Amino acid sequence: MNILEVNHLKKYYATQKAVDDISFTVAPGSIFGLLGPNGAGKTTLIRMITGIFYPDSGEILFNGKKFHPQNDAVHIGYMPEERGLYKKMKIGEQAVYLAQLKGLSRMDAMRKVKEWFVKFNMESWWGKKVEDLSKGMGQKLQFVTTVLHEPKLIILDEPFSGLDPVNSNLIKDEIYQLAKRGSSIIFSTHRMEQVEEICDHIILVNKGQKILDGTVHNVKQQFKENLFSVKLDRQPESLQSPAFELIGRLEGELIVKINEGNKPNDVLQHFMQQQCNIMAFHEILPSLSDIFIKLVEGTPLSRQFEPITA
């Protein structure tokens, strides 16, 4: 059973179709990437999933049942893109307070906060105020307050912004750990290399509509351009073949595009006939970044306001 199932979700504002008929599912224990350019409708989508906004139409199923914001809030952890904490409040108290608002008893909240503070080396911060923290420290605190109540669904909007590589890895490891323990994670970002590294499944949203849905592997296969890299021990005499076209050279390797109807073996044969030894041969899959740009390119960088007539 999927932890989250979103069916035909719509949310229209006065001048924009913020979310226009989006459906997707999130499997338990998976890390789900929600991608899209600025203003694609990601935040609106997330706000509906977290119960902050009501959708105009469509339904959200949480854990197989109709999503009920008040009751299910305890099972959701949400870390918005714009960080928010009470500046004047002491850090320990603040973490306990936010956990209590999620429904934990004071005792449980205290215990969990202490555990996490130890894990993240934050014990000495307890009596400090948020305004004394650096941006990265605030980020860590925000992450702790998001996952403290062991939610089934964790929604992270750009969780690594402002973190150094060491702390990024710390958080990344925690994300893996949480997924391993059965939490599902929705991960919204623009940083494609992180998505490739972390996510199992992605969807790409543009102009309020879903334009891509699949596992990272499948998506790459879907968008591959039959590019291969060939490494030879010496320069071949001929690079002309009906089987492929030479696209370029990269550090002594040849980048070739195999023509329709041909197979990698045809390429290898061409070089072997010329008495070249093949040192390496592998497929070049497009990066998610390339796919992202390819799909989103051509649409205006920021969404235009348009009157809605639906």
Number of shown-chain residues binding other proteins (CB under 8 A): 25
In angstroms, what is the minimal distance from the CB of 100 to other proteins? 5
Query: Does residue 246 belong to the site contacting other proteins (CB under 8 A)?
Result: no
Query: Does residue 100 belong to the site contacting other proteins (CB under 8 A)?
Result: yes
Asked if 67 and 61 touch (Cβ cutoff 8 Å), the reply is yes
Query: Does residue 135 belong to the site contacting other proteins (CB under 8 A)?
Result: no
Query: Does residue 89 belong to the site contacting other proteins (CB under 8 A)?
Result: yes
Asked if 58 and 204 touch (Cβ cutoff 8 Å), the reply is no
Query: Does residue 4 belong to the site contacting other proteins (CB under 8 A)?
Result: no
Query: Does residue 98 belong to the site contacting other proteins (CB under 8 A)?
Result: yes
In angstroms, what is the minimal distance from the CB of 43 to other proteins? 9
Q: Which two tokens stand for residue 174?
A: 């925690």
Site for other proteins (CB under 8 A): which residue of 27, 61, 73, 243? 73
Asked if 1 and 63 touch (Cβ cutoff 8 Å), the reply is yes
Q: Backbone phi, then psi, for 206, in 5-degree steps? A: -145, 135
In angstroms, what is the minimal distance from the CB of 23 to other proteins? 22
- Cα–Cα distance between 230 and 244 in angstroms, integer? 12
Site for other proteins (CB under 8 A): which residue of 11, 17, 42, 47? 47
Which of the ranges 71-79, 177-185, 219-227, 292-300 carries the binding residues for other proteins, by CB under 8 A? 71-79
The number of beta carbons lying within 10 Å of the beta carbon of residue 97 is 16
Query: Does residue 76 belong to the site contacting other proteins (CB under 8 A)?
Result: yes
Which of the ranges 84-92, 114-122, 191-199, 206-214 carries the binding residues for other proteins, by CB under 8 A? 84-92
Site for other proteins (CB under 8 A): which residue of 52, 118, 279, 293? 52
Nearer to other proteins, 176 or 305 (CB): 305
Nearer to other proteins, 16 or 241 (CB): 16
Nearer to other proteins, 83 or 231 (CB): 83
In sequence order, the β-bridge partners of residue 188 are: 34, 157
Query: Does residue 97 belong to the site contacting other proteins (CB under 8 A)?
Result: yes
Asked if 184 and 29 touch (Cβ cutoff 8 Å), the reply is yes
Window 138 to 197, contacts with other proteins (CB under 8 A):
145
Q: Which of 151, 146, 159, 92 is nearest to 124 (CA)?
A: 92
Query: Does residue 112 belong to the site contacting other proteins (CB under 8 A)?
Result: no
Burial of 264 (0-12, 13-18, 19+ CB in 10 A): middle
Query: Does residue 95 belong to the site contacting other proteins (CB under 8 A)?
Result: no
Query: Does residue 51 belong to the site contacting other proteins (CB under 8 A)?
Result: yes
Site for other proteins (CB under 8 A): which residue of 66, 82, 180, 238? 82
In sequence order, the β-bridge partners of residue 77 are: 154
Under the rule (CB under 8 A), what is the footprint of other proteins?
47, 50-52, 54, 70, 73, 76, 78-80, 82-89, 97-98, 100-102, 145
